Amino acid sequence: MKTTNRRNFVKGSLTLVTGLLLANKSFADSIIGSTLKSNFKFGFSKLTYSFSDLEPVIDTATMEIHYERHYGAYVKNANEAISEENMSATDAKDLFSKISNYSTKLRNNAGGAFNHELFWSILRKPTPNNVPTGQLDQAIKRSFGSFESFKDEFSKAALGQFGSGWAWLVKDGNQLKIGSTPNQDNPLMDVSPFKGTPILALDVWEHAYYLNYQNKRADYVDKWWEIVNWEHIAQLYRTSK
């Protein structure tokens, strides 16, 4: 009788210890996962227009290659780097605020994914006499004197960016500012000397225009104003801090 009781006691104790170890392992794994691994990933942004809708400003072949191959690669590689580096961030803005802590792979591809998502969203079919209106128009005039002055300054930023990069209109408090960044950097990154919340972006990498314009970046920039979606940019202006 005593032997049986001792055997049952040992068996029960082992079961209890095993259960506690498994529970603790599960708890530890959940803590480590929530601390190191991010739930944030970049989605593949859908276009609100077809590849041909931006003709003749941006040709169909350029849009297809740019969107499917270049942008697709940025999203894939950014999410791969997020998984590899146990990156912890709640959203893209949070990630960019500490991007200097991560690899060049994550910096370049996360920037490429975010920058292009914004770029796609502020384009539409060519529109004659395409100008902003309302609150955004007033803000542009307060910051730059006139819409034409704004266009000139923004175009200079796009043309003055040596090599690959982006031109930006950002909201910084109640002010609008124009600047540029190299490669796939953007004004949300802690490594960027030019900062603010982007509401307008122009891609001046050659793959964005070379098939149609070759080396004539100025012609691309000049025609690009016809496809700017000012209504969406006005919405970004209203909702950005």
Q: What is the pLDDT of residues 162-183, one digit of tens each?
A: 999 999 999 999 899 999 999 9
pLDDT under 50: residue ranges of the chain? 1-4, 8-36
Residue showing tokens 């002010």? 175
Q: Give the pLDDT score at 86.
A: 85
Residues near 149 by Cβ (< 8 Å), separated by ≥ 6? none
Residue showing tokens 């007033």? 138
Q: The CATH number of 59-121 is which of 3.40.50.10210, 1.10.10.10, 3.90.550.10, 1.10.287.990?
A: 1.10.287.990
Compute the distance between CA of residue 138 and CA of residue 205 in angstroms, rounded to an integer. Answer: 31
Do 168 and 160 contact (CB within 8 A), yes or no?
no
Residue showing tokens 């590899």? 84
In this structure, the number of other CB atoms found within 10 A of the CB of residue 89 comes to: 18
Q: Give the pLDDT score at 4.
A: 47
Q: Give the pLDDT score at 159.
A: 98
- Strands 175-182 and 165-172 come out as antiparallel
Do 85 and 106 contact (CB within 8 A), yes or no?
yes
Domain ranges of the chain: 59-121, 134-239
Burial class (CB in 10 A: 0-12, 13-18, 19+), 187: buried
Q: Give the pLDDT score at 216.
A: 97
Q: Give the pLDDT score at 38.
A: 56
* Three-state secondary structure call for residue 197: strand
Q: Give the pLDDT score at 39.
A: 74
Q: Give the pLDDT score at 30.
A: 32
Compute the distance between CA of residue 189 and CA of residue 121 in angstroms, rounded to an integer. Answer: 20
**What Å distances lie between residue 56 and 30, 35, 224, CA to CA?**
53, 49, 10
> Nearest-CA neighbor of 240 among 181, 161, 187, 166?
187
Q: Give the pLDDT score at 128.
A: 87
CATH topology of domain 134-239: minor pseudopilin epsh fold (3.55.40)
* Three-state secondary structure call for residue 201: strand
Compute the distance between CA of residue 238 and CA of residue 236 in angstroms, rounded to an integer. Answer: 5
SS3 content of the chain, % helix, strand, coil (to 5): 60, 10, 30
Residue showing tokens 């972006």? 201
- Comparing 59-121 with 134-239, is the CATH topology the same? no
Q: Give the pLDDT score at 102.
A: 96
